[in-house]
Amino acid sequence: MKFLHILFLFLLTTYIHTFEHSASEEWNDKLENALDRLLNLVGTVEQMVDLLNEIDFVLKNMAELDILVVRKVQDKLDFVPHDDIKVSPIPICPRE
């Protein structure tokens, strides 16, 4: 649960940081509050930076991981002998 809370705060701060250049003071306050809460959960600034870097690494590599998984599934499907796949006909009920 603590990890999900930290991940949520990280995503929130990333979202806010993305729009920081055009953000109002309210957004900047939200960013500061989210970072303060994250720091309170983690402990030290160094630990927070390490955690954010790890989460950032995981999020960046998730897309590459998804592509690898899809390719592996496609490779497995290529080995399925198509002649062995039997499709049973759909029974048609005559209208009365």
Give pLDDT tens digits for 62-74.
666 666 666 666 6
Q: Residue 94: inside a domain, yes or no?
A: no
Does residue 93 lie within any of the structural domains? no
Q: Is residue 48 part of a domain?
A: yes
Q: Is residue 18 part of a domain?
A: yes
Q: Alpha-carbon distance 52 to 16, whole Å?
A: 15
Structurally, how many domains does the chain consist of?
A: 1
Kindly state the greatest CA–CA separation across the chain.
77
Q: For residue 29, is it within any domain?
A: yes
**pTM, full prediction:** 0.34
Which residue intervals of the chain are DSSP H helices?
2-18, 25-42, 45-78
Q: Is residue 70 part of a domain?
A: yes
**Domain contains 90:** no
7-46 pLDDT tens trace:
666 666 666 555 555 556 776 677 677 777 777 777 777 7
